[in-house]
Amino acid sequence: MTLTEKILATHTDKQEVSPGEFINVNVDVILANDVTAPIAIREFYRTGVTKVFDPKKIVMVADHFTPNKDIASAEQVKIMREFAYEQGVIFFDVGQMGIEHALLPEQGLVLPGDVIIGADSHTCTYGALGAFATGMGSTDIASAMATGDIWMKVPPTIKLAYHGELNKWVSGKDLILFTIGDIGVDGALYSALEFTGDAVDFLSMDSRFTMANMAIEAGAKAGLFRIDNKAQLYIKSRAKRPYAVYEPDNDTQYAKVIEYDVSKIEPQIALPHSPANVKPVSQLGNIEINQVVIGSCTNGRLEDLRIAAQILKKNNVHPKVRCIVIPATQEIYLEALNERLIETFIKAGAVVSTPTCGPCLGGHMGILASGERCVSTTNRNFTGRMGHPKSEVYLANPAVAAACAIAGRIISPDEVSN
C-alpha cells in the first residue's frame, strides 16, 4: 500500500484498502474556522445530537476575519465561541489564535499517522507531518463532529520525486509552483500526492508545509511527506499524545510517478489568474506592482519572515508599494520580534499585522482596488481573490516578494539582495 492507503486502513476495520474503494474512516482531528464553523454548527444541531463525539478531537480557530472587521464577522465568531464554550472543544480566540494551518502543527495538535479533516481546503498542509489531511464541506464536518467518522473514496497516489541541488532563493514554494505549472490545476484531481526525493529530504519543515499546503491547487485530495529525522525533531518537541509513523511498501504501485531535476528550477511566479500560470521570474518583463503580502498559511512561518527580512534589511519599500507582513501565529510573531525581524520590516517601510488570513481571501488587511497588482506569498490568485475583480495577484516565494516590494516591480532577489 501507499502511505495514504496505510494510514486510511488503520483508521477502518479493514486490513488493507485500495484506490476507488468506499470506506468509513475514524478521524483523529476535526477543524473549522470562523468562516466555515457556523455552518457546521448549525447543521450539527439539526442532526438532533446534543454533544460532539469527542471535544478533545475538535479544534476551532478564529483566523479569517479576526480581530473582527465588521458586525457580520463578529457574529460569525460569536457563534463559534459560544459553541466552543458549550461543547468544551479546543478553541483559539484573539490573543491565542494564529492562521490555523500554521497553528495546529506548532501546537502539536496534528501528528504523523493521523486522519485529519477540516472545513478549509488547505487542511492538506498537515501532510508534511506524514498524516492524511484533507478539506471537506461544513456539512461533512457537522456529521463528523457528531459521529467521529467520515465516508470517503480511497484516492489513488501520484508519486512526485525531486532530485538534485536547489538553486539560490529556491524553496518549497517554487517546487510546488513549478509542479502545478507542469501538471495543471486538475493534474492530481482526487489523488494523493506523495512528495519524495533527495531534494525533498533537504527541504526545511517550513518548505514542506508550503508544498503540502498547495497540493489542493493541483486538485489533490492530500499531499504527504514521509517522516525523516528532520520531521521527528520538529514533532517530538511538540507532540502531546502518542503517534504512529507509516511507510509505503517497497512494491507499491503508484497511479503515476513524475520526476523533476530541481537544479533546473529558478524562483517561480504564478501569473493571474491561476496557480498553474507559472513562469520563471527571469522571464517576466517590467511588471509594476502596488502591493506585496508576505504571510498566510502558505508562507507566514518563521523561515519565511527571516528570508524576507534578509532581503529588506538596509533597503526601503518602494514609495508606490504597500508591503504587508503577517506572521502566521503569535509564537512566530514573538520570535520574529525577539530576532528583530519586525524592526527590520518597520524600518524598511512595511506594516506588520497580527496573525490573520486577512488579505489572502480578500477579507481585510490589504484589499486590492481596480487595476492594482499584488505580489503575494499566498496560495491562490483567482479573479477577485484579493479584492476587485479587475485586480491581479502574482504568487511568489518570500524572497521574490520582498525584492518586488523594494523595486516596485517584479524582479529576482539577486537584483536587490545584500
For position 198, what pLDDT does the model report?
96
For position 418, what pLDDT does the model report?
56
Alpha-carbon gap, residue 412 to 176, rounded angstroms: 18
Alpha-carbon gap, residue 410 to 228, rounded angstroms: 36
Q: Kindly give the pairing relationship between strand 132-135 and strand 192-196.
A: unpaired
Assigned C-alpha cell, 344: 527590520
Q: What angle do CA 200, 203, 206 make, to 5 degrees?
A: 125
| Contact present, 47 and 143 (Cβ < 8 Å) | yes
| Contact present, 130 and 261 (Cβ < 8 Å) | no
Q: Kindly give the pairing relationship between strand 149-153 and strand 22-26.
A: antiparallel
Alpha-carbon gap, residue 388 to 385, rounded angstroms: 8
Indicate the pTM of the whole model. Answer: 0.96
Cβ neighbours, 10 Å, residue 264? 10
For position 66, what pLDDT does the model report?
87
Nearest to 206 by CA among 180, 228, 234: 234
For position 297, what pLDDT does the model report?
97
Return the DSSP state at 337. H
- Amino acid found at 339: E
Euclidean distance between the first and final Cα of the chain, in Å?
A: 48
Q: What angle do CA 242, 245, 251 make, to 5 degrees?
A: 160
Mean pLDDT by 10 residues, the chain (418 residues): 98 96 98 97 96 98 94 97 97 96 98 98 98 97 98 98 97 98 97 97 97 98 97 95 96 96 98 98 94 98 98 96 98 98 98 96 95 98 96 98 98 86
| Residue 242: HSE in the Cβ half-sphere, 13 Å Cα cutoff | 1
Q: Which helix (H) or strand (E) holds 398?
A: helix 398-407
| Contact present, 225 and 128 (Cβ < 8 Å) | yes
SS3 301: coil
Checking phi first, is residue 43 left (phi over 0); if not, alpha (psi -120 to 50) or beta? alpha
Domains of the chain, first to last = 3-7+13-260 (3.30.499.10), 272-415 (3.30.499.10)
For position 204, what pLDDT does the model report?
97
| Contact present, 350 and 405 (Cβ < 8 Å) | yes
Cβ neighbours, 10 Å, residue 291? 25
Query: In terms of DSSP H, where are the helices of 257-322?
Result: 296-299, 302-312
Please state whether the peptide bond connecting residue 67 to the residue before it is cis, i.e. omega within 30 degrees of 0: yes
For position 192, what pLDDT does the model report?
98
Q: Kindly give the pairing relationship between strand 278-280 and strand 268-270.
A: antiparallel
Give per-residue pLDDT as tens, 353-363. Answer: 999 999 999 99
| Contact present, 243 and 105 (Cβ < 8 Å) | no
Query: In terms of DSSP H, where are the helices of 184-326?
Result: 198-202, 205-213, 229-236, 296-299, 302-312
